[in-house]
Amino acid sequence: MTKIEGWTQSYIDRINSALESSIPKDKDILTQAIRYSVLSGGKRLRPLLVYLASELGSAPTEAQDNVGCSVELIHCYSLIHDDLPAMDDDSLRRGKPTCHKKFGDAIAILAGDALQPLAYTLITESNQIEDKTKVKLVSILSKACGWDGMVEGQILDISDHDYFSLEELDSMHMKKTGILIIACLEMGGMISDLPEPEIKLLKQFGKKVGLAFQIRDDVIDLESPPEVSGKAQGSDLIKEKLTYPSLIGIKASKERAIELSEEAKEFAKKLSGDSNKLIKLCDFIVQRDY
């Protein structure tokens, strides 16, 4: 199994601790569902991108943690809703029953509903982010998960695809997956007061990495068993979902993911700060099997 390298463990431990402190601890069923979904593991890629982008400048620790938690909560909310029977109808997530399988559809819907505003609250109530920056951060994040961002990507994903070109598939996944990855990098750069040219490079990096990540996800669905991926193997194939392997073949998909990763590295190399960790992350994204 290709594991994310050891240098990321301190970031993962940090975001897990911050998440534990940020979400409710009451014993009611809704809180149980929220904690179950958020604290059940995961790659924590999105907060990791916030941390790495923010380290190109100098951001306060609390600001990094709050923004990192906010993007992860948005991601978790989207997973809960995407797994629902009316959407992707998945029964396994991170090696455990999905939220609706564990708690029922209604509680799962409400858990996702609760996570989204909590994500924004973590930004607006931060003591180490200036008010004008908070407004920009909330705007970026809300657009990323809004009607023409992640939501539209999910609509396209569950729609009938009589014919879809590679460009249309890229566009769909740029909305469903890539736009939040780009937002993580942009927000990380923003809380570090990086100049606009640097943030533009981060966004270009994110666009390449986002597509590479999704292509690799499609390959993992076919190749990795549940005990490795944490998800049911071949679920996309069974549901006849449009994926990169189904459109261009598995060999071409792997090659394209690597090509996008290399293109991402070139943008990272142009950053004025130390981008070595971003470059190493590119290799993990296209080599992972979970």
Q: Please report, rounded to a whole number, the percentage of residues in the chain having pLDDT higher than 70.
A: 98
d(C-alpha 116, C-alpha 114), whole Å: 6
- 48 and 281 in contact (C-beta within 8 Å)? yes
Kindly report the length of the chain: 290
pLDDT of res. 3: 52
**What letter does residue 96 receive in the DSSP assignment?**
E
- 33 and 170 in contact (C-beta within 8 Å)? no
Gap between the terminal Cα atoms of the chain: 8
pLDDT of res. 125: 96
pLDDT digits (tens, 9 = 90+) for 197-218: 999 999 999 999 999 999 999 9
Q: Which of 49, 101, 104 is nearest to 75 (CA)?
A: 49
Neighbours of 227 (CB within 10 A): 10
Q: Answer with the residue of higher pLDDT: 113 or 3.
A: 113
pLDDT digits (tens, 9 = 90+) for 219-251: 999 998 888 877 878 788 778 888 999 999 999
Q: Taking 90 as the threshold, does the pLDDT of residue 59 lie above it?
A: yes
pLDDT digits (tens, 9 = 90+) for 259-277: 999 999 999 999 999 999 9
pLDDT of res. 103: 98
d(C-alpha 98, C-alpha 108), whole Å: 9
- 274 and 240 in contact (C-beta within 8 Å)? no
pLDDT digits (tens, 9 = 90+) for 144-162: 999 999 999 999 999 887 7
Provide the pLDDT confidence category of residue 163 given band limits of 50, 70 and 90: confident
Q: Please report, rounded to a whole number, the percentage of residues in the chain having pLDDT higher than 90.
A: 86
Residues facing residue 96 across a β-bridge: 93
Q: Which of 90, 111, 99, 91 is nearest to 157 (CA)?
A: 90
d(C-alpha 35, C-alpha 20), whole Å: 8
Residues facing residue 93 across a β-bridge: 96
Neighbours of 220 (CB within 10 A): 18
The whole-number average pLDDT for the span 38-59 is: 96
The torsion angles phi and psi of 93, rounded to 5 degrees, stand at -145, 125
Question: Per the structure block, which two tokens stand in for 194?
Answer: 């990086």
Q: What is the mean pLDDT of the chain?
A: 94
Beta-sheet strands, E only, within 63-177: 92-93, 96-97
Grouping H, G, I as helix, E, B as strand and the rest as coil, residue 83 is coil
Task: Give the CATH architecture of domain 6-287.
Answer: Orthogonal Bundle (1.10)
**Cα-Cα-Cα-Cα dihedral of 16, 20, 23, 26, to 10°?**
150
Question: Per the structure block, which two tokens stand in for 97?
Answer: 């029953």
pLDDT of res. 241: 86
pLDDT of res. 68: 98
The whole-number average pLDDT for the span 28-50 is: 96
pLDDT digits (tens, 9 = 90+) for 171-184: 999 999 999 999 99
pLDDT of res. 228: 82
Provide the pLDDT confidence category of residue 1 given band limits of 50, 70 and 90: very low
- 190 and 199 in contact (C-beta within 8 Å)? yes
Neighbours of 174 (CB within 10 A): 18
pLDDT digits (tens, 9 = 90+) for 7-22: 899 999 999 999 999 9
